[in-house]
Amino acid sequence: MQINTYLKTSCCFTNHIGSTFFVATASRRRGTTMVTVLVMLPVLFILAAMAINLSHIQAVNTKTQMVTDAATRAAGSVYASTEDKTAAIAEAQSIAGANSIEGITLSLAPTDFQFGVSTRSAPNQPYTFTPATVGNSVRLSTNSFAAGAGPALKPAFGVYGQDSDIRPVCKATHTQMALDVAIVVDRSGSMNFAADEDSEAGLPPATAPAGWWYSGPVPPNSRWLNLVVAVKGFCDELADTVKIEKAALCSYHADTATNVMLTRSYQSIRNELDYMSQNFDGSSTNVGDGILEGIAAVEDTLRNRKWATKVIVLMSDGRHNTGTDPLTAVDQAVAKSIPIYTVSFSDEADILLMQDIADLTGGTHYHASNASELNAAFREIARNLPSLLTQ
């Protein structure tokens, strides 16, 4: 009995001590956790503030870059059309003023701008900017803002309880695609005929007046007059863009000529076409020398721009039958990286040759069977030239 009592008492004692030990240990753990939480809470707040600040700073930097890009594009467009640096800078500052960042206007000083020429050695190479007196490119860096000009952008929270500024250095370069275009047109004898007429039948055009013989005013409804409308439409499309395209008018039959040198005055091309319509003198079809005439026109160093992309738009309604082999002329265009966009007109045109010329030079071929399609082809070329050249 004594032994059993002792054992029971001992068991009870042992259980009591164990329970007390467990309660004390759990209490100490809860206390330690609370202390840890209290210690870590400020750290967590600091880390959260730092994360918010970092996110805010990144957002501000992105917005600053966007405004810099927009201002640079605006300056580049004005500079390309006017070559006026003061006007270009003013336009950039206006864009920056209209697009505030967190209520702050990005301060742009004239010294933040550089004007020059951007060129590339090959179509798949990046552009390289070189400062120059006259050019096609504007570079903007927010250096003055970064150095302290104008009100500063602020972080979401002060750093270590102190006020601080966000003044990123953002850079952008805008290069306006400049084009020097030679429009090379066919003025052979077949251009006196309508698009659906047979020019080789030995008969004069159906609409030709009595006594007409391949000279003087072209007959009504002729391919030439269809072409005049199409080229004028081409000029209209160029005029609707930023005026950085220069155009020349070349023509070919047995001989070739540059009727209008590279110019921004598209009206002079329209006027020359009207003059040629009244004084038309066409003979054979010399496509090869027509191409060489176009190359010479865009390579004219007195009138072209060294940074501009050179392009030829070549139209023909027939088959090459005299002069330089067209593919020999194409070799020169390829050597000078001059794409040729070709338009074949009427069912008498050598479509395969015109397709080959475009393919070999990196241009695009269009075929037109009637006046409406011819006009559409020239307008499409004018609208798409810049995007085609940058792909």
Domain residue spans of the chain: 43-175, 179-390
Would you state the pLDDT for residue 5? Answer: 37
Inter-residue contact 88 to 75 (CB < 8 Å): yes
Beta-strand pair 179-186/309-316: parallel
Q: Residue 162 — φ and ψ, nearest 5°? A: -110, 150
Would you state the pLDDT for residue 248? Answer: 98
Would you state the pLDDT for residue 48? Answer: 63
Would you state the pLDDT for residue 31? Answer: 60
Would you state the pLDDT for residue 256? Answer: 96
Question: HEC string of the chain?
Answer: CHHHHHHHHHHHHHHHHHHHHHHHHHHHHHHHHHHHHHHHHHHHHHHHHHHHHHHHHHHHHHHHHHHHHHHHHHHHHHHHHHCCHHHHHHHHHHHHHHCCECCECCCCCHHHEEEEEEECCCCCCCCEEEECCCCCEEEEECHHHHCCCCCCECCCCCECCECCCECCCCEEEEECCCEEEEEEEECCHHHHCCCCCCCCCCCCCCCCCCCCCCCECCCCCCHHHHHHHHHHHHHHHHHCCCCCEEEEEEEECCCEEEEEEEECCHHHHHHHHHHHHHCECCCCCCHHHHHHHHHHHHCCCCCCCCCCEEEEEEEECCCCCCCCCHHHHHHHHHHCCCCEEEEEECCCCCHHHHHHHHHHHCCCEEEECCHHHHHHHHHHHHHHHHHHHHC
Would you state the pLDDT for residue 391? Answer: 35
Q: Which residues contact 295 (CB under 8 A, 6 or more apart)?
A: 182, 312, 329, 332, 333, 336, 338
Cα separation, 114 vs 26, in Å, equals: 71
Q: Residue type for 249, please?
A: L
Alpha carbon dihedral 123, 124, 129, 135, in 10-degree steps, equals 20
Cα separation, 33 vs 25, in Å, equals: 12
pTM: 0.66
Would you state the pLDDT for residue 277? Answer: 96
Would you state the pLDDT for residue 124? Answer: 64
Going residue by residue through the chain, which has 391 residues, state the pLDDT in tens, using 9 for 90 and above.
Answer: 343 433 333 344 334 444 444 445 555 555 666 666 666 666 666 666 666 667 767 888 899 999 999 999 999 888 877 789 999 999 999 999 999 988 889 999 999 999 998 876 665 678 888 898 877 889 999 999 999 898 887 776 665 555 678 889 999 999 877 789 999 999 999 999 999 999 888 889 999 998 888 888 999 999 999 999 999 999 999 888 755 789 999 999 999 999 999 999 999 999 999 999 999 988 889 999 999 999 999 999 999 987 788 999 999 999 999 999 999 999 999 999 999 999 999 999 999 999 999 999 999 999 999 999 999 999 999 988 754 444 3
At 263, list the tokens: 């110019």
Name which CATH class applies to 179-390. Answer: alpha beta
